[in-house]
């Protein structure tokens, strides 16, 4: 346990540093972490820089962290239920499906009797189900490669639909690209309660299911043998992953690759016990997104970059590496 | 296996005739349709310079170059896809799956970002460099790891995503209209293409297509297996290299000028194989016609759906092509497992 506690400490320190960095940098260089301390100590007469800290920086940092938790857990769950290390919301087309659901809700207001966020969750679920059924459905064995290629095709189709519906509407292509790359520049406090509740739900649900994920990792027969029906694990896991992804996408757009990278890194640090992986992934996902959020504000172009682009630049090379070298792919 | 059955000369002539007339009809439709609909009468007047009302500007300056470009790029993508599938012997292979499209798009973005003064004529060269880089990564990686066909597709998708993230980076980092203009073509659009674009790409596309046609007999020999090919005096490794290079350049040039028209290079060869059989020398011209038809139709439908708004041709080919890809995958699954 001594060795493990070092890893946990590393994760915590990484998270803390990420939070400080993310709060410290931004469009106005004169606003820094000192303002946060000032806010905490005497909040009676807020100055302009203190309001920037409270109204802009804090919600952005908080939301970036929460998104990291949600996407990381979503990836972890998908990797557990598919037993495929390359599974993640973006690669299985679930991100794009959520974006499509969201787009439909925006394009046809009043047509669907449910909230936009619910549409995003439905889109995520639908895309996930499509991907699974193309890859072989609930048959005993789903080929990992087919799963990914189906996901890519479903994702390509959903994204084409998103672009299609937006070109029909108006010349908002730049906004669409911003949103479809995942952006948190516009978020404020009113976006946080939903995401916070979602992250809590995600963590609790994953902790409760962690044991079933561990059993599933032993194989479906073994899982069945000790009384955990693998199909129930699969369905519950898919529902949770779709909810986490769908609502996150509805707030910030699809953010790719966090769900892929974080579970891998955490597995390398903590091992493959899901009871420990769940909190580790939550910490690690939040930390990575905080760094990405900070970097998105410092990059040199004079213009802030969307969070999703930074995440993709970190994550895509990792995906290439995995595609070339990961061994457990069958075929 | 439909790939081994070749059709008779008579069947082929009928198929070519149907394809050609469909192509001509869709080109005429493409001239007529758009933000301003043009009547057949005016169209005929303008094209043949008859008396009566004409629409010279719209037809000759705006719509004609689009259609010529659609023909050129559709043919180029289809030939590139056919060559790649013939060499890699992978039904799922296509310029997009091998990463060429994304690489070329990335290189073109980079060129516009770093050297905004460069002229249109440089686009083919730059796009080709990017496409070749991506294809080299994918093919070398796959060759060196000895990967299965489906795994190759996975590596290609991953490399494609890598370059796509670079393209996204460029797009969101550039807000000025001049630099953000490529956004439109990146989704695969023929919008605002002019004769100067045609001038920049027609020669290399025509030359390389000619080269591809002259290679088709050699590719059929290659299909018999390396030993037979060597016995017949061929150098298989050199042959594969030339074919892949030709395919890369063809696909990259078309991306450089009209953006990513997803799945055309995947669909056209399969459709052509269904129509005339899998022998490259018969299939290649047919695939070229199918590819042209697909792109011209995608452009027309995009303009016809809700004028004056245009839906990018690339969006339409992706909507049509992604399900096609899934069907192909499910079929190849059945062939390998059962």
Q: With contacts defined as CB-CB under 8 Å, which chain B residues touch A162? A: none
Give the mean pLDDT of chain A: 79
d(CA A53, CA A59): 9
pLDDT, average across residues A291-320: 77
pLDDT at residue A170 above 60? no
Interface test mutation site (partner A, options B138, B140, B161, B189, max chain A beta carbons within 10 A): B161
Average pLDDT over residues B233-244: 82
**Mean pLDDT of the A36-54 span:** 70
Provide the total of helices (H) and of strands (E) in chain B, helices listed first: 15, 0
Full DSSP string of B107-142: HHHHHHHH-TT--GGGHHHHHHHHHHHHHHHHHHHH
Burial class (CB in 10 A: 0-12, 13-18, 19+), B335: exposed
Q: Which tops the pLDDT comparison, A282 or B225? A: A282
Range of the domain at B132: 79-337
Q: Give me the pLDDT at residue B175, please.
A: 58
What was the pLDDT predicted at A131?
86
Write the residue in B161, B168, B323 that is nearest to A309 by C-beta: B168
Residue for token pair 């050129």: B72
Per-residue confidence at B1, pLDDT binned at 50, 70, 90? very low
CB contact under 8 A, A167 and B310: yes
Given a cut of 60, is residue A74 above it in pLDDT?
yes
How far, in Å, CA of A61 to CA of A187, rounded?
Answer: 10
The CA distance from B257 to B205, in Å, is: 12
Residue-wise pLDDT tens digits, B275-316:
887 788 888 999 999 999 999 999 888 888 777 777 778 888
Which of B48-62, B128-142, B210-224 is least confident? Answer: B48-62
Token digits for A63? 């939301």
Tell me how many domains chain B contains.
1
Domain boundaries, chain A: 58-325
Cis peptide before B308 (omega within 30 of 0): yes
B240: in domain:
yes
**Can you tell me the mean pLDDT for B203-231?**
85
Establish if B18 belongs to a structural domain: no
Look at residue B16 and tell me if it is in a domain: no
What is the rounded CA–CA span in Å between residue A71 and residue A89?
8
Domain membership flag for residue B171: yes
Angle at A130 between CA A127 and CA A133, to 5 degrees: 150
pLDDT exceeds cutoff 80 at A80:
yes
Look at B309 and A168 and tell me if their CB atoms are within 8 Å. yes
Nearest to A323 among B158, B184, B326 (CB): B158
Query: Is the Cβ of B180 closer than 8 Å to some Cβ of chain A?
Result: yes
Q: Please judge whether A331 and B151 are an interchain contact, meaning their C-beta atoms are less than 8 angstroms apart.
A: yes
Round to whole Å and give the CA distance between B167 and B184. 13
Contact in structure between B294 and B267 (CB atoms under 8 Å):
yes
Nearest-neighbour CA in chain A from B227: distance (Å) = 26
Q: How close does chain B come to A39, measured CA to CA in Å?
A: 33
Residue that has been written with the tokens 């309660």 in this structure:
A193
Range from A106-120, A242-256, B232-246 carrying the lowest mean pLDDT: A106-120
Contacts of B319 in chain A (CB under 8 A): 157, 160-161, 164
Contacts of A301 in chain B (CB under 8 A): 173-174
Q: Which chain B residues are Cβ-neighbours of A181 within 8 angstroms?
A: 168, 172
B29 occurs within a structural domain:
no
Q: What percent of chain B has pLDDT over 70?
A: 87
User: pLDDT (tens digit, 9 = 90+) per residue, A202-228?
Assistant: 899 998 888 888 888 877 777 777 777
CA dist., res. A245 & res. A23, Å (int): 25
Instruction: Evaluate whether residue B96 is within a structural domain.
Output: yes
Please say if the pLDDT value at position B168 is more than 90: no
Q: Residue B229 sits in a domain of what CATH number?
A: 1.10.3470.10
Mean pLDDT along residues A75-104:
85
Indicate the CATH number of A58-325 among 1.10.15.40, 1.10.3470.10, 3.30.230.10, 3.40.190.10.
Answer: 1.10.3470.10
Q: With 60 as the cut, is the pLDDT of residue B179 above it? A: no
- pLDDT for the residue B78: 93
Q: What is the pLDDT of residue B108?
A: 82
What is the rounded distance in angstroms from the CA atom of residue B338 to the CA atom of residue B335?
A: 6
The reported pLDDT for the residue numbered B150 is: 66
Contacts of A159 in chain B (CB under 8 A): 318
Give residue A28's pLDDT.
66
| pLDDT of res. B334 | 60
B166 close to A (CB below 8 A): yes
ipTM above 0.85? Answer: no
């Amino acid at each position: 346990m001594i060795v493990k506690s070092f890893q946990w400490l590393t994760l915590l320190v990484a998270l803390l540093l990420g939070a400080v960095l993310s709060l410290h940098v931004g469009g106005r260089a004169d606003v820094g972490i000192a303002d946060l301390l000032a806010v905490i100590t005497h909040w009676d007469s807020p100055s302009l820089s203190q309001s920037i800290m409270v109204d802009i920086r804090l919600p952005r940092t908080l939301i970036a962290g929460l998104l990291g938790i949600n996407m990381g857990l979503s990836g972890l769950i998908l990797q557990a239920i598919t037993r495929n290390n390359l599974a993640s919301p973006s690669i299985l087309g679930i991100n794009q499906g959520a974006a499509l659901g969201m787009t439909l809700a925006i394009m046809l207001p009043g047509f669907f009797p449910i909230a936009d966020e619910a549409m995003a969750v439905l889109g995520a679920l639908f895309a996930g189900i499509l991907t699974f059924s193309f890859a072989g459905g609930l048959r005993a064995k789903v080929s990992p490669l087919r799963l990914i290629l189906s996901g890519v095709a479903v994702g390509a189709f959903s994204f084409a639909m998103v672009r299609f519906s937006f070109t029909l509407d108006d010349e908002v292509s730049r906004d669409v690209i911003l949103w479809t790359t995942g952006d948190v520049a516009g978020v404020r406090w009113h976006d946080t309660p939903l995401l916070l509740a979602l992250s809590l739900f995600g963590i609790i649900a994953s902790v409760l299911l962690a044991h079933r994920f561990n059993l599933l990792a032993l194989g479906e027969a073994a899982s069945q043998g000790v009384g955990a029906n693998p199909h129930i694990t699969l369905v519950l896991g898919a529902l949770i992953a779709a909810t986490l992804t769908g609502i996150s996408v509805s707030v910030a757009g699809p953010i790719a690759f966090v769900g892929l990278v974080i579970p891998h890194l955490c597995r390398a640090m903590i091992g493959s016990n899901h009871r420990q992986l769940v909190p580790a992934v939550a910490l690690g996902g939040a930390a990575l997104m905080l760094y990405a959020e900070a970097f998105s504000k410092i990059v040199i172009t004079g213009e802030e970059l969307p969070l999703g682009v930074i995440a993709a630049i970190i994550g895509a090379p990792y995906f290439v590496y995995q595609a070339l070298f990961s061994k457990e792919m069958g075929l | 296996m439909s790939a081994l059955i070749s059709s008779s000369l008579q069947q082929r002539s009928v198929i070519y005739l149907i394809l050609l007339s469909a192509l001509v009809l869709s080109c005429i439709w493409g001239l007529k349709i758009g933000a301003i609909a043009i009547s057949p009468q005016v169209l005929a007047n303008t094209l043949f310079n008859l008396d009566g009302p004409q629409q010279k500007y719209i037809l000759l300056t705006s719509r004609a170059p689009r259609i010529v470009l659609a023909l050129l790029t559709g043919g180029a993508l289809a030939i590139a896809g056919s060559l790649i599938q013939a060499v890699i012997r992978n039904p799922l292979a296509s310029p997009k799956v091998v990463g060429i499209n994304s690489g070329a798009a990335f290189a073109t973005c980079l060129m516009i970002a770093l050297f905004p003064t460069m002229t249109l004529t440089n686009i083919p060269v730059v796009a080709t460099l990017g496409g070749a880089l991506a294809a080299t990564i994918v093919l070398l990686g796959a060759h060196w790891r000895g990967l299965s066909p489906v795994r190759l597709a996975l590596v290609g998708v991953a490399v494609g995503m890598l370059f796509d993230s670079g393209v996204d980076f460029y797009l969101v980092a550039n807000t000025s209209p001049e630099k953000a203009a490529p956004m439109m073509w990146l989704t695969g659009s023929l919008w605002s293409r002019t004769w100067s674009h045609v001038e920049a790409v027609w020669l290399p596309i025509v030359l390389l297509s000619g080269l591809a046609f002259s290679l088709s007999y050699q590719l059929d020999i290659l299909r018999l297996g390396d030993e037979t090919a060597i016995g017949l005096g061929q150098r298989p490794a050199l042959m594969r290299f030339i074919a892949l290079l030709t395919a890369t350049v063809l696909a990259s040039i078309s991306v450089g000028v009209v953006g990513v028209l997803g799945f055309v290079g995947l669909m056209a060869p399969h459709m052509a194989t269904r129509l005339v059989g899998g022998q490259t020398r018969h299939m290649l011209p047919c695939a070229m016609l199918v590819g042209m038809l697909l792109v011209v139709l995608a452009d027309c439908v995009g303009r016809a759906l809700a004028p004056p708004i245009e839906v990018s041709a690339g969006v339409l080919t992706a909507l049509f092509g992604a399900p096609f890809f899934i069907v192909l995958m499910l079929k190849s699954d059945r062939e390998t497992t059962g």
